[in-house]
Amino acid sequence: MKIKRMLSNLYNHLYDKKIDLQKYIKRAKDKKIKKSIKAPNILSIEETINLTKENNLSLVRYGDGELKIIDGDGIFFQPHSVLLATRLRDIIKSSYDKVMVCLLDIFEDLNQFTERGRKYTADIVAERRLKWYSYFDMGKTYGNAFVSRFYSGFKDTRKSEQWLSLLRELWDNNKLFIIEGEKSRLGVGNDLFNNAKSI
C-alpha cells in the first residue's frame, strides 16, 4: 500500500509539472502574439460609468463565461446553446443606439489583479486570445466589463468605494427592473439599491 501511494503521489506530481509546462509554453507564445497584435480598445471603469450616465446607456457585459459560450463551451451555470452563442457573437460587434458592449480589461497589463486573478487570466487569455479577438470589432471602443465586478479580484481595492458611489448615481431615484438568475440575488442583504425609486 505504501509503494502504491508513493507511485500515485509521483504520478500526480509529474502530471502537475506537465500541466505547468504546457501553461508556460502557451504564455510564452501569447507574449509574442500580444506584441504583434493590437488589443481591443476598452474604457476604464470610471469612463464606462460616466459615459453610461451622460448618454443614458444600457450595458451588455461580456465576461469570460460569455466568450466561452461563443467558443462552444458550457459554463457551470449555463450549458452551451448554439442559439445563445450566435446571438452573443452578433451582439459583441453590434452598434445599437444607447447600448454599450463591455469587455473584460484583461488583454494588456494584468498588474491590477491579485496573484490568483493574474494566473487564471494569463492562462485563459494565452489559450484563447486569437479566437476571442476574432469575435471583436477591433475598430470599436468597448466599455469595461469590470464595471459590475468592481469589488472582485483587484489588488488595490481602494477605488472600489469610489466606483460604487458612481454606480449608485446611475439608479438614484430611478425605477429599476431587474432580471437575474435564480441564485444571483443582486442587492439582497445589502444596501446596493436602497437609493432607487422602486425595484
Query: What are the sequence ranges of the domains in the chain?
Result: 41-163
Q: What is the mean pLDDT of the chain?
A: 86
Q: What whole-number percentage of the chain has pLDDT above 70?
A: 92
pLDDT of residue 151: 79
Q: Is the pTM of this model over 0.85?
A: no
Can you tell me whether residue 42 is helix, strand or coil?
A: strand
Strand partners, 71: none
State the Cα–Cα distance between residues 62 and 145, nearest whole angstrom: 6
Residue 113 has pLDDT above 80, yes or no: yes
By three-state DSSP, how is residue 163 classified? helix
Q: Place 15 in a pLDDT band, splitting at 50, 70 and 90.
A: low
Q: Are 103 and 142 a contacting pair, CB within 8 Å? A: yes
Q: Provide the 8-state DSSP code for 79.
A: -
Query: Where residue 10 falls among pLDDT bands split at 50, 70, 90?
Result: low
For residues 171 and 199, give the distance between their C-alpha atoms in angstroms, rounded to a whole number.
Answer: 10
SS3 76: coil
Q: pLDDT band at residue 2, thresholds of 50, 70 and 90?
A: confident
**pLDDT at residue 91 above 90?**
yes
pLDDT tier, 176 (very low <50, low <70, confident <90, very high otherwise): confident
Report the pLDDT value the prediction gives residue 73, as an integer from 0 to 100. 86
Q: Which amino acid is at 72?
A: G
Q: Which amino acid is at 169?
A: E
Q: Is residue 104 over pLDDT 70?
A: yes
Give the mean pLDDT of 37-53: 94
- Checking if the pLDDT of 26 tops 80, the result is no
Mean predicted confidence (pLDDT) in 5-29? 70
3 state SS of 141: strand
| Predicted confidence (pLDDT) at residue 142 exceeds the cutoff of 70 | yes
pLDDT on residue 128: 93
SS3 160: helix
pLDDT category at 191 given cuts 50, 70, 90 is confident
